[in-house]
Structure 1
Amino acid sequence: MTKAEAQNNNALPHDLILEGRGKLTVTGVRRMLRCDPDSAAMETTKGTLTLAGAQLSVTSLDLDKGEVKLTGRVDVLEYTAQRTAGGFLHRLFR
């Protein structure tokens, strides 16, 4: 990824719109990591967003706009921090 692409991805606004725990719209999505009936995960401009619930399914995915729409029962929304480049081995051999 070039520096310009990275700046463009970070410029995407990141919002969550949850309607009655049954419809979720997420903006600022860079990449969909997984989606199955019980959980989903996506990389956003603010870190990795993991969902847990039941009967989850992606109804719309537009990575050009950075938008994902899901339906199903949403029980948990959890963010994990973005990983630093290199990880453990990079820090070990500095």
Structure 2
Amino acid sequence: MEDAQIKRQHKLVVNNRKTSLVTGVLDVLSFDLNEILLETEQGMMMVKGTDLHVNRLSLEKGEVDLSGNIDTIAYSDMKPAAKQGGKLLARLFH
């Protein structure tokens, strides 16, 4: 079995709403200072806040380290659509 096909366990650790470690990450779909959208083993995950940064990204390991002022974390079971992903996901999380 190839490494890319191995399911990774998803874990979310948030420290004082300032830093976060996320495992089981399949892809980073978008990010800016106010919003980070991740595809994880447990579905789509949106992190909202201010001054958000992706400090470390390892898609091989499925890990992401985030920092900033974390206000909201939301999940959805929806999978991203190839062409309309941004609009669909925007409606899904608002």
TM-score, normalized by length of structure 1? 0.78
Instruction: Flag the structure with larger Rg.
Output: 1
Query: Runs of 5+ in structure 1 lacking a partner?
Result: 86-94
Matched, 1:24 2:24: no
Whether 1:64 and 2:60 are equivalent positions in the alignment is yes
- State the Cα distance separating 1:6 from its structure 2 match: 7.1
Q: Which runs of 5+ in 2 are unaligned?
A: 82-94
Residue 42 (structure 1) aligned with residue 38 (structure 2): yes
Give the 4+ runs in structure 1 shifted more than 2 A.
Answer: 3-7
Q: Secondary structure at the match of 1:58?
A: strand
Q: How many residues align?
A: 81
**How big is the alpha-carbon RMSD for the aligned residues of Structure 1 and Structure 2?**
2.2
- 2:57, 2:8 → 1: CA distance? 15
Residue type at the aligned position of 1:16: L
Distance in 2 (CA, whole Å) between partners of 1:34 and 1:64 is 18
Instruction: Identify which of 63, 77, 84 aligns with 1:81.
Output: 77
Aligned-residue offset at 1:35: 1.0
Aligned sequence identity (%): 35
User: Structure 2 length as normaliser, TM-score?
Assistant: 0.78
C-alpha separation between the residues in 1 aligned to 2:4 and 2:18?
A: 32
Q: Distance in 2 between matches of 1:24 and 1:30?
A: 16
